[in-house]
Structure 1
Amino acid sequence: MFDVDWMGLLTREVLRERGAALIAESCAWAVGLSDQPHHERRAGRLVATGLTVGERAAHGRPLAGEEDGRLELGDARPGSFQDALNMLGADGRVQAERFDDEVLVPFVADTCRLAAERARTSRRAAWEELADDLGEDPRDLLDVVRAGGWEAPLRIDAEHLVLAALGTVPLIEVEAEGLPLSLVRAAEATARAAAAPEPAPVPDDSLAGALFLARAALEESGCTVPVRPEEADLLLVALGDNGLEPDEVTAVLPHLPVEEATISRIAATLAAR
């Protein structure tokens, strides 16, 4: 029986070090909950109560119902962050499930990764022995972490940490604390979406034969890959020698490792014929 306890202790140590960051992420996640319509389950049906979550909290009424929610989140102070975690969303899910998926799971995974990096650096021999016991490559940190099973118990520790800090705090105060970071996260998401590359074009099934010939022609042509503009004529000759018609050349070029300038030059050559 191998001993992995030292690694479990290290993950908890790193979690404690990152406690402030976890609280900040939790506050940022909560931003906007008060503005959402409040729902509850009546006679087994999910219905809107006609108030927003914030309005219901302001009236001192519980956000979570008795039919749903997690037992460990019960007996929460009405309108508190813990109460909000235990309430239902418009999709019928308890908000705590969303919090797990969107905050705790990724945060704990990152914490375990950081702990693994520290272990590999500061306790190299022990780390390699541990990876060997788990049947994993010590260079593959995430595989070792998954095999070690440290994430599940650490998520429980992370949840306890959040509830100890924010559980009894009114939701509106948690949201106010998290607003600056939530704006940063929203800006980051917008930037990622703007920078996302366009998906590569998917070849039409009808081009399968022409694409096969084109790839063979490219390989036989001796052109560098991706094909530069100065080799456009060489590639065009090779494609023609392999039996591709001009319209087929135009159709297959976007699916070959060819620079955009090369495609433009070949298109201009074909248009001039």
Structure 2
Amino acid sequence: MFPGTTYEPDWFGLLGREVLRERRAALIAEACAWSVGLSDRPHHLRLRGRLVATGSTIGDRAAHGQPLSGEEDGRIELGDARPGSFQDALNAVDADGVVFADRFDREVIEPFVHETCVLAADRARRTRPAQWAELLDELGEDPGQADPADVLRAGEWEEPLRTEAEHLVLAALGRAPLLEVESEGLPLSLVRAAEATARAAAEPSPAREPDEGLSGALFLALAAVREAGLPTPVPPDGAGRLLAVLLEQGLEPGEVTGVLPHLPLAEGTAGRVRDLLS
């Protein structure tokens, strides 16, 4: 910010760097956790423009101090890596020819920096309310409705912090052997895997769409349930009555079993109907 001729440092950018450095240990831990499993991957190199499998794993080569990255791929800033090190692994390519450093940025650096900036914004609101309000005004954001993500995008603070985060990781882990980094990250990687499993279990399963051939039968079945005055969801003790009205509506036994997943049934009712049909 340059009001008049007086230079004012980017106080929020400095605050973001401060929060990032406070979270350095967490960043290093996430980097170690991310590395778990790299050593088990097949090793690939690009030779004369062609991606080829070398026949060994990344871990085998790392254990013997062999280079993991080649001259035709990778990033220039990672090119002086010690063979078998974490930095060397970042500069290697996967089976699709993608440099692991690109995946690391996308899966670790970017979300971590975004979270760091959100934490910095929260701290700014609490500890520097006047400066925060002035910043929102400069960015054209409504203080009462400002979304931190929108503020961060408008201010473009994340990009320089990503670079700094990468430097912090490389300074701590770059020359360390990949196998040691993986070993350090194993406990947290198990926690992250458990969290991912829990999130997946908590997500509702998408409703199955009925087969096109059952659309007519489903229409008749829903009408039959409605016209019969059956309670919804239909309880298990109403399975006999439900089956009767569906058959009276002209549905074949195969159509009945096909529409059951799409009817408003209580738990156990569909099983009762299938038992009655068998």
Tell me the TM-score normalised to structure 1 length. 0.74
Distance 1:6 1:138 in 2: 22
Contact 2:133 2:143 in 1 (8 A): no
Matching residue within 162, 175, 200 for 1:168 = 175
What secondary structure sits across from 2:206 in the alignment?
Answer: coil
Partner of 2:188: 181
Q: Which moved more, 1:3-12 or 1:85-94?
A: 3-12
| C-alpha distance after superposition, 1:46-100 (max 9, x if no partner) | 1110111111122222110001100011111111110000001111100000100
| C-alpha distance after superposition, 1:236-263 (max 9, x if no partner) | xxxxxxxxxxxxxxx99999999989xx
Partner of 2:129: 124
What secondary structure sits across from 2:43 in the alignment?
Answer: strand
Partner of 2:92: 87
What number of residue pairs does the alignment pair up?
268
What secondary structure sits across from 2:175 in the alignment?
Answer: coil
Q: Are residues 256 and 146 of structure 1, via their aligned partners in 2, closer, same or farther at CA, if it must alter by over 3 Å?
A: farther
Distance 1:109 1:203 in 2: 41
Counterpart code for 1:29: W
Q: 1:185-264 to 2 correspondence within 5 Å? A: 185-200=192-207
Deviation of 1:133 (Å): 4.0
Identity fraction in percent: 69
Partner of 2:273: none
Q: CA RMSD in A?
A: 4.3
Tell me the TM-score normalised to structure 2 length. 0.73
Distance 1:18 1:170 in 2: 23
- Structure 1: tracts of 5 or more residues without a match: 209-226, 230-250, 262-273
Contact 1:63 1:84 in 2 (8 A): yes
Q: Are residues 260 and 142 of structure 1, via their aligned partners in 2, closer, same or farther at CA, if it must alter by over 3 Å?
A: farther
Deviation of 1:122 (Å): 1.5
Matching residue within 77, 81, 87 for 2:82 = 77
Contact 1:74 1:86 in 2 (8 A): yes
Task: Confirm or deny that 1:44 pairs with 2:55.
Answer: no
